[in-house]
Amino acid sequence: MNEASIRQAIADSLRGIAPEADLDHIAPDANLREALDIDSFDFLNFLIGLHSRLGVEIPESDYGKLTSMGDLVQYLLAK
Amino acid sequence: MAEFRMPSLGADMTRGTLVQWNVKPGDTVKRGDIIAIVGTEKADIEVEVYETGTVRKLIAKPGEKLPVGAPLAFIEVAGEAVPARMPEAVAAEEAAPAMPPVEAPAPALAPTPPGRVHASPLARKLAEELGIDLAKVQGTGPHGAIERHDVEQAAAAKSAIQAAAAPAGEGVSGMRRAIAAAMARSNREIPHYYLATQIDMAGALRWLEQSNLQRSMEKRVLPAAMLLKAVARALVEVPELNGYWVDDQLKRSSDIHLGVAVSLRTGGLMIPAIHSADKKSLEELMNELRDIITRTRAGRLRSSDITDSTITVTNLGDLGVETVFGVIYPPQVALVGFGKIVERPWAVQGMLGVRPVLTATLAADHRATDGRRGGQFLDALSTLLQKPEAL
Amino acid sequence: MTFREAIREAMRQAIKADDRVFLMGEDVGRYGGCFAVSKGLLAEFGPERIRDTPLSESAFVGAGIGAAMGGMRPIVEIMTSNFSLLALDQIMNNAATILHMSGGQFNVPLVIRMATGGGRQLAAQHSHTLEGWYAHIPGIKVLTPATIDDGYGMLLGALKDPDPVLIFENALLYNMEGELSPNAGAAGIDRACIRRRGRDITLITYSMGVWKSLEAAEKLAKKGIEAEVIDLRTLRPLDDGALVESVSRTHRALIIDEGWRSGGISAEISARLMEQAFYELDAPVARLCGAEVPMPYAAHMERAALPQVETITEAVERMMPAHG
Amino acid sequence: MSEPTNVNRAHEMHLLHQMLYIRRFEEKCAELYSREKIRGFMHLYIGEEAVCVGVMEALRPEDGIVSTYREHGHALSRGISGGAVMAEMFGKQEGCSRGRGGSMHLFDAKTRFYGGNAIVGGGLPLSVGFALADKMRQQTRVTCCFFGDGAVAEGEFHETINLSALWKLPVFFVCENNRYAMGTRLDFSHSQTDLSKKAAAYGIASAWVDGMDVRAVEAASATACEYVRAGNGPYFLECRTYRFRAHSMYDPELYREKSEVEEWKKRDPIPALIARIDPAAEEIAALEQQIAKQVDEAIAFAEAGTLEAVDELTRFVYSDRSPA
């Protein structure tokens, strides 16, 4: 998996949740949830989207590592 | 011993004034003698005695105003054994049995011919204003007639559905008006009282995380579902918070339908109901929660989803709000609020530690319940969350 | 046959059939009746059964009550409802009250007939419409026949009733021509009757109002408004059932009453519709009543003081929803 | 007034018993009223006993009676039981009007007692009706109509006397002239205070009699009833009498002098008759005891009476309990 496919998966997963979100303008270190205005429910669906697209397991204990876009991408790259 | 009492001297006389006595204790009198003058509204009237005997004691003093039947003097009736002591004032005779009020037979309302919707003029006017089709509204008035609040509720639902499906502008204003009407009515009619409590969520969250490990990500249970389960179970212990205030009295609901406040990306709010939440497992609750939130946000809610919740739960934790003081949705009588779970210093048996703490609040209708019952509800909630496995 | 002749025929048959029945009133005998209703009856039955009375309304109405209690079946004619005020004490305090006040011992099987209504330029004291007042009194029945059959049948029905019955005959109807149905006989006196079926609005009226409403209904039909016309026939008891049934179909009601509106029979009917057909109403119950004035003499003024065909049609059109 | 010839001692004792029973009954009513057992309005007959007892002797069971609100004496002397009258004033359904009439509205079908009437002069027209019915059905019986000097000033008196004279009806008009219409003395009510002359003006037989002498009233009534029964038309008898107590229960009696009352008490009909019969003391004592027992039994009957069920309220508004 390279960064491009990860970003694509992120974009696709968000479409159903925050259709008007503009990923390009989200700063890498910005808090993802606030930037996208998504609540814990949307966030779970987002993770489920990533799981189905990237086949990646994301346990609740790792939620702390996914606060910003940058963290998310790094985390997924590491998987 | 006979009593000489204030006589009734006219159809509309209730009291009389003793003007003067014509006799004094020891005098003998016979039936028909005028022994006193009594003043009435009309005039002073000579009053006769009906016994023959000797005046023993004058009770009333000249100038004294007394009700009809009040004892004025004691007369020892000739030839009657003298009792040991004076009988005290005899109570007025038994009042005539209270006549039960005769209600005119309530004229029966004309039965509803099929196809004809029974709605009050006010309901019709409001329905027209808010673009509500009365045929689709469930009435709670007499014989199922539709009244104002039925239309308000339907409007709140209908415009929300419109809002979700339609572009932001037009739909939202309809919903905004409906929510405004409901909120204004709540403020106008419902005397709210508010309670809050801190709940240590450490055990619950830990348990949830463990149980989620056995579940696939799709089946993962959010803390919100656990809170709904706890609310449902707590309502079983304090049922007065679950129902409606209708016709000036609490109408408890045997079912527990939790109205879950779901905010919409386009602004506005929807409150779909999870039916019979108390009878559902944690997983079932989570599934239903996911289902209604998804359909709400996709604008595919059915009217049955949104009309009969018996209590409302709102969770603003995600937005960083710690304590929520909500406004009850009429005709419901309570609203439960959950805030953000925050790490807090927490003392347990004198030992200081850090705990994830949740602020749970209750807004309740003081006509239906008092603070004591509200406090017992929050206490039950907190206790239930200490044993998550038992939920 | 005219309305007057139908009433006369009913009296003739009743007097012939039952020797307890007799007619008593001012000028009913030699003069043949102020409105000629009893013309010829004196010659046929003699002065014992057709009794002229002095101008003593209280005395001869009271005598009617006493005679009824004494075993007779009198028909007392008060010349017009305007003069009935002189006998109101006897009617209210004796006729309507004695059965109840005597604990059910004495019935008063009495029929009192009187001409009523305005529209003949007789000015304020001779043009009253008082039947609505009398309908306020429990213990009597109040009939307002409008048709030939009812003029005839309701009188015979009233004579069968063991309680006092007042019949108000609008004087303008006396000359009305019509056929007496072959099977006409003693008619029911406690039910209304639909004179014209309709679907858009119910016109509720009685006596003279029935004919004005029927004419108005024909005019409205040309404009696509189908008005139902209900002839109340009796103001006490009121036939609530018929009114509610009709309004439940048409959802609109206009009451036409020549009496004054304040505290009148139209107000009572409107209240009963609000109580019993509230959810059927698409518009408030409307009332078209006599103007609240002492009746003026001048023809154009009197005409303006009473409901007319045109004012009925205007009232209905105002009530119909915009999209017609 | 000729001396009553065939009156014997037993008959006089009967008259005394009747008058004394009414006197003691009324005295007990005054006591019961002051103890709120009897409510509303009550007008006592004390002092006028000679009138009703004398008149009743001339009447037969089949005759009819129309009375006024001062009617206890009429009812008791006509034969309505003391218990039924007392129960009526106690508001019990065992009363002669089911507790619905009270002191002023006693009714009894058996004795053709057609009620007291609380409207001054209200009963006069009824009596015409009863007599009319009897005459039309060739029944020779008398309708006796009691009324006071107050009623003579009502329009209905003039209408009634004229109508009964005009139709030569069998009515026996008994005017109990007790000199006061409530608080208005005779000469403040009437331009012509000789009331018998007023009736004579209508061309009917009319006379007056000393209403404090039971034998005189009896003789005059006999003459009157004979006249009426013979079909000669109505008879007007003015009985000049006096009431020893207030108009109703306790009025201030400012309208008359105490001395006048004392004067008339000297002519109390009861002691006058006792003096005439001159019975032994024990006989009088025995009579008093018998009467006391009768009165106590009447009170016991009334006390034991029951209240009419409230859901009977609308019964007898109409005969068939149709909607009021």
Checking if the pLDDT of D255 tops 80, the result is: yes
pLDDT at B33 over 70: yes
Contact list in C for residue D322 (CB cut-off 8 A) is 190, 237
Let me know if residue B311 belongs to a domain: yes
Q: CB–CB of B194/B361 below 8 Å?
A: yes
What does the block give as tokens for C80?
A: 């017009």
Which residue in C63, C89, C107 is closest to D129 by CB distance? C63
Q: What is the pLDDT of residue B161?
A: 67
The answer on pLDDT for A55 being more than 60 is: yes
Contacts of D34 in chain B (CB under 8 A): 7-9, 47, 50
pLDDT of residue B13: 87
pLDDT, mean of residues A34-60 = 82
Q: Are residues B182 and B208 in the same domain?
A: no
* Type of residue at D176: E
Class of domain C193-319: alpha beta
Question: Both B152 and B26 in a single domain?
Answer: no
- Do B259 and B380 lie in a common domain? yes
CB D98 to CB C162 under 8 A?
no
Residue B84 pLDDT grade (very low, low, confident, very high; cuts 50, 70, 90): very low
More confident site: B313 or C268: C268
- Ranges A25-39, B238-252, C58-72, C155-169: which has the least confidence: A25-39
More confident site: B54 or A44: B54
Confidence of residue B111 (pLDDT cuts 50, 70, 90): low
Rounded average pLDDT over B195-221: 87
Residue with more model confidence, C198 or B11 = C198
pLDDT digits (tens, 9 = 90+) for B267-299: 777 788 888 888 888 888 888 888 888 777 776
Give the pLDDT confidence score for residue B10 in this predicted structure. Answer: 85
Name the E strands within chain C: 21-25, 50-52, 73-80, 111-116, 141-143, 165-170, 193-196, 201-205, 227-231, 234-236, 253-260, 286-290
Taken in order B147, B150, B152, B154, the sign of the CA dihedral is negative
Q: Does residue B347 or residue D215 have the better pLDDT?
A: D215
Q: Inform me whether the pLDDT recorded for C283 exceeds 70.
A: yes
Greatest mean pLDDT range, B40-49, B106-115, D185-194, D294-303: D294-303
Tell me the pLDDT band of B194, cut-offs 50, 70 and 90: confident
Q: What does the DSSP assignment read for B116-156? A: ---B-HHHHHHHHHHT--GGGPPP-SGGG-B-HHHHHHHHH
Q: Identify the H or E element spanning B193.
A: strand B192-200
Task: Identify whether residues B72 and B206 lie together within a single domain.
Answer: no
Which chains, if any, share at least 3 CB pairs under 8 A with chain D?
A: B, C
| pLDDT of the residue at B64 | 94
Domain ends where: B77, B98, B127? Answer: B77
Using a CB-CB cut-off of 8 Å, the residues of chain A touching B217 are 44, 47-48, 51, 57-58
- The answer to whether residue D280 scores a pLDDT higher than 70 is yes
Dist. CA C315–CA D179, nearest whole Å? 62
- Residues on chain B touching A60 (C-beta within 8 angstroms): 209, 212, 220
Residue type, B382: S
Q: Which amino acid does the sequence have at C103?
A: G
Q: Which residue of C has its CA nearest to D120?
A: C89
Q: How confident is the model at residue C54 (pLDDT cuts 50, 70, 90)?
A: very high
Domain extent at residue D198: 9-307
Domain ranges of chain C: 3-173, 193-319
What are chain A's partners, defined as 3 or more CB pairs within 8 angstroms? B
The residue annotated as part of the active site, out of C9, C26, C57, C258, is C57
User: What's the whole-number mean pLDDT along residues B41-70?
Assistant: 91
Domain boundary pick from B77, B100, B127 = B77
pLDDT for B294 equals: 78
Last residue of a domain, one of B60, B77, B94: B77
**What pLDDT sits at residue C59?**
97
**CATH code at position B242:** 3.30.559.10
Instruction: With respect to residue B113, please indicate whether it lies within any of the assigned structural domains.
Output: no
Report DSSP letters for B53-66, one per residue: EEEEEE-S-TT-EE
Each residue's pLDDT tens digit, C60-104: 999 999 999 999 999 999 999 999 999 999 999 999 999 999 999
| Average pLDDT along chain B | 82
Measured CA to CA in angstroms, residue B143 lies from B111, B116, B247 at distances of: 9, 13, 14
**C179 included as an active-site residue:** no
B11 shares contact with chain A (CB less than 8 Å): no
Count up the domains in chain A and report the number.
1
Of A1-5, B67-71, B311-315, C12-16, the range with the highest mean pLDDT is C12-16
Q: Is residue D4 part of a domain?
A: no
Helix (H) or strand (E) holding B312: strand B311-315
Helix residue ranges per DSSP H, chain D: 9-34, 49-58, 72-78, 82-89, 124-136, 155-166, 186-189, 195-200, 214-229, 258-265, 269-277, 281-303
Q: Quick one: DSSP state of residue C261? A: S
> What mean pLDDT value characterizes chain D?
94
Tell me which residue in B209, B222, B317 faces A44 most closely, judged by beta carbons. Answer: B222
CB B220 within 8 A of CB A60: yes
For residue A4, give how far its alpha carbon lies from the nearest alpha carbon of chain B (Å): 24
What is the rounded distance in angstroms from the CA atom of residue C195 to the CA atom of residue C193? 6
- pLDDT score of B220 more than 90: no
Q: Is the peptide bond before B331 cis (omega within 30 degrees of 0)?
A: yes
* Cα separation, C82 vs A10, whole angstroms: 95
pLDDT tens string D162-197:
999 999 999 999 999 999 998 899 999 999 999 999
Choose among B387, B346, B369: nearest CA to B195.
Answer: B369
Q: B-C interface: how many C-beta pairs under 8 angstroms?
A: 26
Structure tokens at B87: 């009988």
Beta partners for residue B273, in sequence order: B259
What CATH number has the domain bearing residue B40? 2.40.50.100
Asked if residue B372 and residue B284 are part of one domain, the reply reads: yes
Asked if residue C178 lies in contact with residue C230, where contact means CB atoms within 8 angstroms, the answer is no
pLDDT(C286) > 90? yes
Whether C72 sits inside 8 A of D136 (CB atoms) is yes
Q: Which domain holds residue B174?
A: 119-189
Contact assignment for A60 to B319 by CB distance below 8 Å: no
Which residues of chain D lie closer than 8 angstroms to C138, CB-CB?
A: 317, 324
User: Taking the model in full, what pTM does it have?
Assistant: 0.69
Tell me: pLDDT of B108 over 60: no
What pLDDT, on a 0 to 100 scale, did the predictor assign at position C22? Answer: 98
Fold of domain C3-173: Rossmann fold (3.40.50)
Domain count across chain B: 3
Residue D1 inside a domain? The answer is: no
String of DSSP letters for C83-135: GGGGGHHIIIIIITTHHHHTTT------EEEEEE---SS--GGG----HHHHT
For residue A20, the enclosing domain spans: 3-78
CB contact under 8 A, D249 and B9: yes
pLDDT higher than 80, residue B345:
yes
Read off the pLDDT of residues C290-310 as tens digits, 9 standing for 90 and up. Answer: 999 999 989 999 999 999 999
Beta carbons of B148 and B126 less than 8 angstroms apart: yes
Q: Are strands C286-290 and C253-260 parallel, antiparallel or unpaired?
A: parallel
Under 8 Å between Cβ of B328 and B366? no
What count of CB pairs under 8 Å joins B to D?
44
Over pLDDT 70: what percentage of chain C? Answer: 99
Taking only the tens place, the pLDDT of each residue in C177-195 is 999 999 999 999 999 999 9
Report the CATH number at residue A52: 1.10.1200.10
The reply to whether C44 belongs to the active site is no
The reported pLDDT for the residue numbered D78 is 98
Least confidently predicted of B386-390, C271-275, D164-168: B386-390
The pLDDT value given to residue A71: 84
Residue D107's pLDDT is: 97
Cα–Cα distance for residue pair B295/B293, rounded to 1 Å: 6
Which residues in chain D (99-128) have CB-CB distances under 8 A to chain C? 99-101, 105, 107-109, 114-115, 117-119, 122, 124-128
* Span C92-140, pLDDT tens digits: 999 999 999 999 999 999 999 999 999 998 999 999 999 999 999 999 9
Across A60-69, B270-279, C136-145, which has the greatest mean pLDDT? C136-145
Instruction: Please name which of D24, D88, D133, D97 lies closest in space to residue D301, comparing C-alpha atoms.
Output: D88
Residue showing tokens 């609750």: B285
- Rounded average pLDDT over C261-280: 96
In a domain, B103, yes or no: no
Q: Into how many domains does chain D fold?
A: 1
Query: What band does A49 get if pLDDT is binned at 50, 70 and 90?
Result: confident
Least Cα separation, residue B170 to chain C (angstroms): 27
Query: Does the CB of A33 have a partner CB in chain B at under 8 Å?
Result: yes
Q: Are strands B71-77 and B243-246 parallel, antiparallel or unpaired?
A: unpaired
Cα–Cα dist D102/D23, whole Å:
19
